[in-house]
Structure 1
Amino acid sequence: MSVTVAIETPLQDDVRELVALLNAHLLPLSPVEFQFKMTVEQMAGSDTIVFVARDEDRKAVGCGALKLHGGTLGEVKRMYTLPAVRGQKVGTALLDAITELAKQKKLDRLVLETGMGDGFGDAWRLYERSGFTRCGAVLDYPDSGFSAFYEKRLAVAAH
């Protein structure tokens, strides 16, 4: 399957639907107080850039976001692909686009928080294949045992 990944507003019905599906997917996997979700309205803020993957028919099949934390730190947020397209490298395409923009913005480190447990194995494999490594708690997330943390150091080319 061929997908295109582009920066888009999350304030579209099909992107809202993806985020709702992500939230529903996450709900049974860990206690709600340890789920650090952004609403689509928060995702539309000036500190967050949202990427949407679309198939040949322009259907939204995945999303992810880069949240800027000032300085040279960025955070990967709201990564999700429809179950029907999993295993077809849509998540990789989204993560590659996020990483490339982070490099363009001269960020030197990307971090992310994801869940622990059986339901997160595919996400861990995606992050690890994309060069992320496990690390300790990041930003202001609690080290609760319900979260796994990853980081990726970015080589920023000198000009």
Structure 2
Amino acid sequence: MITFLRTDSKNNDFISLVKELDAFLAVTDGDDHSFYDQYNKLDNIKYVIVAYIDDIPVACGAIKQFDTTTMEVKRMFTSEKSRGKGLASKVLKELEKWAIELSFERCILETGIRQVEAVQLYKKNSYILIENYGQYAGIEESLCFEKKLN
């Protein structure tokens, strides 16, 4: 059975999953990893979802306020042994639901062009490609997406 926990960035299960994520990204991002890593610190992320299967943490994601109407999706990850079960989409839906409850109108996010599975995940969940924003403007290896929330 899948359960979801709403928590924050101080949660130990979230921290453990993010360590796995960072190790994965260090390989896939290659030389660009240090650039992206500087924007992925966990400091004070208030809105974190951790997904569990039989009380074992298997996936996570977070949202962070970007502006008065927008949440930015951060730190999406599914452990390697739990991939292919739709967990990332379920975590993303939980994050979107939470953003709506908090009266936000849209979610944005950045992912790397090398994160093929992530790009597919966001497209499958109705995120549309937008111009790169903020620190990602002009970065050719970045793809930015947006979804308007209902």
Give the TM-score normalised by the residue count of structure 2: 0.89
User: Do the aligned residues in 2 keep the contact of 1:66 with 1:74 (CA within 8 Å)?
Assistant: yes
The letter of the residue matching 1:51 is I
Note the C-alpha offset of 1:105. 1.5
Quickly say closer, same or farther: Cα 1:100–1:3, change in 2 above 3 A.
same
CA distance in structure 1 between the partners assigned to 2:8 and 2:70 by the alignment: 22
User: Do the aligned residues in 2 keep the contact of 1:80 with 1:91 (CA within 8 Å)?
Assistant: yes
CA deviations 1:71-129 (Å, max 9, x no partner) are 11110000000011111011011000000111111211110001112xx1111111111
**Per the alignment, in what secondary structure is the counterpart of residue 96 of structure 2?**
helix
Give the TM-score normalised by the residue count of structure 1: 0.85
- Which residue does 2:13 correspond to in 1? 14
- Which residue does 2:49 correspond to in 1? 51
More helix by share: 2
1:149 matched to 2:149? The reply is no
In structure 2, list runs of 5 or more residues that go unmatched: none
Mapping 1:1-159, distance limit 5 Å:
2-30=1-29, 31-36=32-37, 37-40=39-42, 42=43, 45=44, 48-56=46-54, 58-117=55-114, 120-155=115-150
User: Do the aligned residues in 2 keep the contact of 1:34 with 1:147 (CA within 8 Å)?
Assistant: no
CA distance in structure 1 between the partners assigned to 2:5 and 2:124 by the alignment: 22
RMSD (Å) for aligned C-alpha atoms: 1.6
The letter of the residue matching 1:144 is I
The percent of aligned pairs where both chains have the same amino acid is 27
**Per the alignment, in what secondary structure is the counterpart of residue 140 of structure 1?**
helix
CA deviations 1:5-38 (Å, max 9, x no partner) are 1212332433222111100100122212431443
Q: How many residues align?
A: 147
User: Do the aligned residues in 1 keep the contact of 2:9 with 2:47 (CA within 8 Å)?
Assistant: no
CA distance in structure 2 between the partners assigned to 1:48 and 1:62 by the alignment: 17
